[in-house]
Structure 1
Amino acid sequence: MTSRRGFLKSGGLALFGIGLGGLPSFVAKAAASVKAPGLFKKRKTLICIFQRGAMDGLMAVTPFTDNYLKTARPTLFMSAAKTGNAKSLIDLDGKFGLHPSMKAFESVFKEGRLGIVHGIGSPNNTRSHFDAQDYMESGTPFNKGTSSGWLNRAVGLLGHDGATPFQAVSLTSSLPRSFYGDNPSVAISNLQDFNIQMKGNPNGANMASKSFEDLYDQTTSSLLKDTGKESFDAMKMLNKTDTKNYKPGNGANYPNSSLGNSLKQIAQLIKMDVGLEVAFAESGGWDTHFNQGTDNGIFARNVNDLSESMMAFWTDMGTLQDDVTIMTMTEFGRTVKQNGTGGTDHGRGSCNFILGNDVAGGKVHGKMNTLAIENLEDGRDLAVTTDFRTVFSEVADRHLGINKDTILFPDWKGSHIGMMKG
């Protein structure tokens, strides 16, 4: 039988399953008794964005001096040279060029706040979207049986009781694989709808089916104070916040896209000071087999949305920028050679972006050899030279202060690459 204390500490998440109809009267009364909002000590927040579908890192950040790439992509290759009316790459360091649709990133890269890792990927060479995403989100690329996600383990390693139900939040319709596990986490499809899913949390689901009145009927005020006050306070704050009419700070202008809306809501939660420490969002449409385009087309639209959404969030954070780091991830990259339909197929290495004041930015990290066929993985792909766990662990360690890599990534024995300061 579930204890009332256990329910309040870990099952409080299930309360949100009834949010669509408003808070029940007994919960509302408990929340009303909490008079002081913002009780959560200000914490660092890591925001992870999964680019589902496998981003072409060679087009996002192009080694434009590599003649092998130019030959392999006769209609997709872009140059940093300014010629005619064609948009050129943004020269980052004389070797790598940023896609012109990611111009929003140029200033933060030059300021040393945005770092890029090239040749990042999984040591498992699968080219299956499902398997590669599963391995990356579990953080165990050779173990399909891992029940928890690496971000859920990160939540458990933060060193304090997750009294707030907003400690780990995914702005998605269902809980991502990264958040599966024993530590509390929730998926919120939209703050305005107050619609939160409990998928992946059997204990929470079982408790949600019970009568809340029965679980609370003998709860003493001291027990509520000891274990539930913060959760009720967070519910009260969210329930009274006008999320629909949120006004971003500092003139930030979010794209009207799924990712833009997700990051805007994450910004709201951070500003509400409800104890958010790990947030997750998604960006789709990166599987560019056909008509990938260059300075126009599906890829250009996707990278524009990614960079504009991240920069709107960064601008919105204002004085809170020291407290946030944003990191992207994608399951694998694309083939070096373009295919016959103006696209690229499933590959291996890609690149990712890390934005924050604690990032060793202004540099393209990682190792990339020339794209001569003898240097390609399986004779066709950008080789994976940086294990994704190398970067994920360093960001989690430096920004969240975890420093328990053997638990966060149990099968990894690598070392950091200086992606973060300190």
Structure 2
Amino acid sequence: MTSRRGFLKAGGLALFGISLAGGIPGFLAEAAASDKIYAPYKKKKTMVCIFQRGAMDGLMAVTPFTDEYLKAARPTLFMSAAKGGTTKPLIDLDGRFGLHPSMSAFEPLFREGRLGIVHGIGSPNNTRSHFDAQDYMESGTPFNKGTSSGWLNRAVGLLGHDAATTPFQAVSLTSAMPRSFYGDNPSVAISNLQDFAIQMRGNPAGANMAAKSFEDLYGQASTGLLKQTGKESFDAVKLLQKNDTKNYKPANGAVYPATSLGNSLKQIAQLIKMNVGLEVAFTESGGWDTHFNQGTENGIFARNVNDLSNCMVAFWTDLGQYQDDVTVMSMTEFGRTVHQNGTGGTDHGRASCNFILGNDVNGGKVHGEMKPLSVDNLEDGRDLAVTTDFRSVFSEVADKHLKISNDRVLFPDWNGTQIGVMKA
């Protein structure tokens, strides 16, 4: 007999267009009214992951400003921490690394020890293809394209309890299910809480099934399996229907940027504070592929890092009393070249940096190893070398925050060590 989880993976049921902003459709309201409304779930620890798609220039986000090789390699892109000039200086973190001035919102959290940074992080696979590098990072198997599951889906399976206890245990605030959530353990992709949509990836037969309307699917279902899947969707609708998601007011004076990332993190905050059992959340930020006119204190890069930092800080402020239960981690598929190119930008490189925010983070430090950026220390003579495997950091955050301890399942074929980015 096919298991329910196996069906969800292979069958690919997808539910679209359940609007909550203007009231839910009659057939859903009737079904919801006929069943018991769930009480709030027990408050859970939550790990939130933000994928910066396009490859962030970690050397500009967190600059080793004392490195003369970097200064020579970037005649128009290098930024200094020296004050008194005509441009905004980097924010000196420790005498060696400087935070981009557009990320000033991060400084207080870094000084408080809540924000940690890992530099020289990346994949052991040296591909510079966006698609391949993202796929490897989200699957967690950088040398195996055939891995069917994503590392966050495997993390859900290692939490030690049945994911079916809540439809919101693993949620991606994206328009489609990310590669990180592929697998046997149930997860949902919600593009907007006011325009509720669920997508579950599957095979071509599942795609055909998804093309049918939800009402048709539920009405024609003759098996208990489909009816149970429908019931779980009703449960999700009921949980949201009890809360005024449209008129949500962030707490503690938090102001989210009116951007895609800001909107996604605001909705993740809503789900956390609704106590619906959210344990793993995912969202993404685009536009990090800065081949042209990257800029310094102004420009596309400055706008992107400003949005990232302001969104994360607004989210953190909004959480208030929930801060002890939440850790936020960013990731990007690779970094950029040490040398700038001829069009005022940087090309595909290797290592970058990432940011981890939480009360259980060993913050106030720039973790990782970075040698002087002379040509003989660069990977392939051009790139910041990967000195920290991304799995070292991802596993440590998941292990320490979510109490996951089976790294052989979480990251198959990896037997490395963690670097101390989380408190013991």
- TM-score, structure 2 normalization: 0.91
Task: Name the amino acid aligned to 1:212.
Answer: Y
Partners of 2:137 and 2:224 lie apart in 1 by: 44
Partners of 1:410 and 1:7 lie apart in 2 by: 21
1:108 corresponds in structure 2 to 109
The answer to whether the aligner puts 1:320 opposite 2:322 as a matched pair is yes
Of the three residues 185, 188, 208, the one matched with 2:187 is: 185
1:351 corresponds in structure 2 to 353
RMSD of aligned alpha carbons = 2.7
Matched position secondary structure for 2:47: strand
2:41 corresponds in structure 1 to 40
Residue segments in structure 1 that go unaligned for 5+ positions in a row: none
Matched position secondary structure for 1:327: strand
Task: Name the amino acid aligned to 2:181.
Answer: F
Residue segments in structure 2 that go unaligned for 5+ positions in a row: none
Whether the 8 Å contact between 2:19 and 2:194 is mirrored in structure 1 is no
Partners of 1:76 and 1:101 lie apart in 2 by: 15
1:212 corresponds in structure 2 to 218
Matched position secondary structure for 1:189: coil
Matched position secondary structure for 1:311: helix
Per-residue deviation at 1:235? 2.1
Distance 1:203 1:406, change over 3 A: farther
Is 158-167 or 251-260 further displaced after alignment? 158-167
2:422 corresponds in structure 1 to 420
1:335 corresponds in structure 2 to 337
Whether the 8 Å contact between 2:9 and 2:202 is mirrored in structure 1 is no
Whether the 8 Å contact between 1:348 and 1:383 is mirrored in structure 2 is yes
Whether the 8 Å contact between 1:39 and 1:230 is mirrored in structure 2 is no
Q: Kindly report which structure 2 residues correspond to 1:73-84, keeping only aligned pairs within 5 A, or say none.
A: 73-84=74-85
Distance 1:409 1:8, change over 3 A: closer
Distance 1:203 1:103, change over 3 A: farther
Per-residue deviation at 1:198? 2.4
Distance 1:38 1:310, change over 3 A: farther
Task: Name the amino acid aligned to 1:265.
Answer: Q
Task: Give CA deviations for 1:104-138 in whole Å, capped at 9, x if unaligned.
Answer: 00000000000000000000000111110010000
Matched position secondary structure for 1:244: coil
Partners of 1:359 and 1:335 lie apart in 2 by: 29
Whether the 8 Å contact between 2:14 and 2:199 is mirrored in structure 1 is no
Distance 1:6 1:308, change over 3 A: closer
Distance 1:144 1:389, change over 3 A: same
Partners of 2:132 and 2:310 lie apart in 1 by: 29
Distance 1:154 1:207, change over 3 A: farther
1:136 corresponds in structure 2 to 137
Per-residue deviation at 1:31? 3.0
Q: Kindly report which structure 2 residues correspond to 1:21-420, keeping only aligned pairs within 5 A, or say none.
A: 28-33=29-34, 37-163=38-164, 164-200=166-202, 211-215=217-221, 232-420=234-422
Per-residue deviation at 1:83? 2.3
Distance 1:349 1:211, change over 3 A: closer
Partners of 2:9 and 2:183 lie apart in 1 by: 12
Whether the 8 Å contact between 2:9 and 2:201 is mirrored in structure 1 is no
Is 230-239 or 284-293 further displaced after alignment? 230-239
Task: Name the amino acid aligned to 1:191.
Answer: L
Q: Give the % identical residues.
A: 76
Matched position secondary structure for 1:190: coil
Whether the 8 Å contact between 1:7 and 1:207 is mirrored in structure 2 is no
Whether the 8 Å contact between 1:109 and 1:115 is mirrored in structure 2 is yes
Is 26-35 or 75-84 further displaced after alignment? 26-35
Is 242-251 or 10-19 further displaced after alignment? 10-19
Distance 1:39 1:201, change over 3 A: farther
Partners of 1:12 and 1:354 lie apart in 2 by: 36
Per-residue deviation at 1:203? 8.9
Task: Name the amino acid aligned to 2:48.
Answer: I
Partners of 1:213 and 1:2 lie apart in 2 by: 21
Per-residue deviation at 1:23? 5.3
Partners of 2:377 and 2:10 lie apart in 1 by: 52
Partners of 2:7 and 2:238 lie apart in 1 by: 16
Question: What is the aligned length?
Answer: 416
Task: Give CA deviations for 1:229-252 in whole Å, capped at 9, x if unaligned.
Answer: 876444212134322221111110
Partners of 1:6 and 1:66 lie apart in 2 by: 52
Is 18-27 or 365-374 further displaced after alignment? 18-27
Partners of 1:15 and 1:285 lie apart in 2 by: 28
Per-residue deviation at 1:191? 1.2
Per-residue deviation at 1:12? 12
Distance 1:195 1:232, change over 3 A: closer
